[in-house]
Amino acid sequence: MSSSSKTKETPTRASVPTAAPAPFAGGRPGSISLRGVSQIYGNGADKVTAVGPVDLEVEPGEFLVLVGASGCGKSTLLRLIAGFEQPAEGDVEISGGTAIPGTTAGVVFQQPRLFPWRTVGGNVDLALKYAGVPKDQRPARRRELLERVGLVDVDKRRIWEISGGQQQRVAIARALAAETSLLLLDEPFAALDALTRERLQNDLRTVSVELGRTNVFVTHSAEEAAFLGTRIVVLTKRPGRIALDISSPIPRTGLSAEELRDSPEYTVLRTQVHEAIKGAAE
Ligand SMILES: Nc1ncnc2c1ncn2[C@@H]1O[C@H](COP(=O)(O)OP(=O)(O)O)[C@@H](O)[C@H]1O
Ligand SMILES: [Mg+2]
């Protein structure tokens, strides 16, 4: 890191105490800062406030689960964090700057949205290309990503030849292709059968610990929230506001997925989140 920025400091700024604590999580890679954020759709009689106002500071590396009843504004909030839309009110700051779609965050949706005529590896390759990874580095990166999501064996298969769970694994690999500090997931496992969903939850938990990125995961499931989140934010019914904001007491490492699901802490947290969702929807 060059020291030139220090020497450029102007005399007027020198009077500002440099050790002052930051007022919000913003500034560091992977941080999210929402201040007074609301989103409004439509005009006149059709005007709907979808979400907010919401104030939220997310620290780098947190696994935040946004949970709430259908229609409360979870996806809206995620789109604002992704930079797909701008808020009607308030500020969204990602890593201390503006959210840039495709650059500040990798995004996974409920439907995998892959290129069906390409192979599994071909879909990952394309994501690496879009992420600006040089051609000669792509094969190694592709293999690394496929290993991470457990798909090395199906590298050469077409998308339509693999299962829904595997397709969603490709979508996760694609979202990880760019070295963003943020991974955003909008009900990614909602369309999968229970057993497949559980396997993907287990593997996402492992991947998130390994990579240490900031995750924002949207779901309406208390089980999923309690299993994955280091922090869980429950939204009220529309317009979604924060009804509950809790840190998980469950350690991130040292517990297998089975041990986590069998632990009393998990049962207590799941019940607490479930009750909060019900209460917030009334
Ligand atoms: N583009 C849009 N135009 C109009 N209304 C919208 C739009 N997107 C979302 N909404 C409305 O905003 C509310 C919140 O939607 P959404 O964020 O999708 O909720 P959730 O993801 O929690 O189910 C809903 O009532 C929805 O109908
Ligand atoms: Mg949604």
Q: What is the pTM of this model?
A: 0.89
Assigned domain for 138 exists: yes
Tens-digit pLDDT string for the chain (282 aa): 444 444 444 434 333 444 444 444 557 889 999 999 999 999 998 999 999 899 999 999 999 999 999 999 999 999 999 999 999 999 999 999 999 988 899 999 999 999 999 999 999 999 999 999 999 999 999 999 999 999 999 999 999 999 999 999 999 999 999 989 999 999 999 999 999 999 999 999 999 999 999 999 999 999 999 999 999 999 999 999 999 999 999 998 999 999 999 999 999 999 999 999 999 888
Half-sphere exposure of 282 (CA within 13 A, CB side): 5
Q: What is the rounded CA–CA span in Å between residue 266 and residue 248?
A: 9
Q: What is the rounded CA–CA span in Å between residue 16 and residue 143?
A: 49
User: Which class for 2: exposed (0-12), middle (13-18), buried (19 or more C-beta within 10 A)?
Assistant: exposed
Half-sphere exposure of 238 (CA within 13 A, CB side): 14
Count how many domains the chain has. 1
- What does R_g of the chain's alpha carbons equal in angstroms? 20
Does the beta carbon of 22 lie inside 6 Å of ligand 1? no
Closest ligand 1 atom to Cα of 78: 17
DSSP state of 83: T
The token pair that represents 83 in the structure block = 């930079």
Q: Ligand 1, atom 24: nearest CA belongs to which residue?
A: 71
At residue 280, the pLDDT reads 87
Q: Ligand 1, atom 25: nearest CA belongs to which residue?
A: 71
Assigned domain for 151 exists: yes
Q: Ligand 1, atom 7: nearest CA belongs to which residue?
A: 41
Closest ligand 1 atom to Cα of 74: 22
Assigned domain for 146 exists: yes
Q: Ligand 2 centre and the CA of 211: distance in Å?
A: 26
Q: Ligand 2 centre and the CA of 98: distance in Å?
A: 23
Q: What is the rounded CA–CA span in Å between residue 32 and residue 51?
A: 17
Assigned domain for 164 exists: yes
Q: Ligand 2 centre and the CA of 111: distance in Å?
A: 12
Q: Ligand 1 centre and the CA of 3: distance in Å?
A: 47
Assigned domain for 189 exists: no
Assigned domain for 174 exists: yes
At residue 8, the pLDDT reads 41
Closest ligand 1 atom to Cα of 70: 23
DSSP state of 119: B
Q: Which of 75, 81, 216 to mutate to test the pocket of ligand 1 (most atoms within 8 A of CB)?
A: 75
Q: Ligand 1, atom 13: nearest CA belongs to which residue?
A: 50
Query: In the chain, how long is the greatest CA-to-CA distance?
Result: 64
Assigned domain for 123 exists: yes
Q: Ligand 2 centre and the CA of 70: distance in Å?
A: 7
Q: Ligand 2 centre and the CA of 74: distance in Å?
A: 6
Assigned domain for 9 exists: no
Ligand nearest to the CA of 238: 1
Q: Which structural domain, as residue segments, surrounds residue 118?
A: 111-179
Q: Which of 43, 46, 48, 84 to mutate to test the pocket of ligand 1 (most atoms within 8 A of CB)?
A: 48
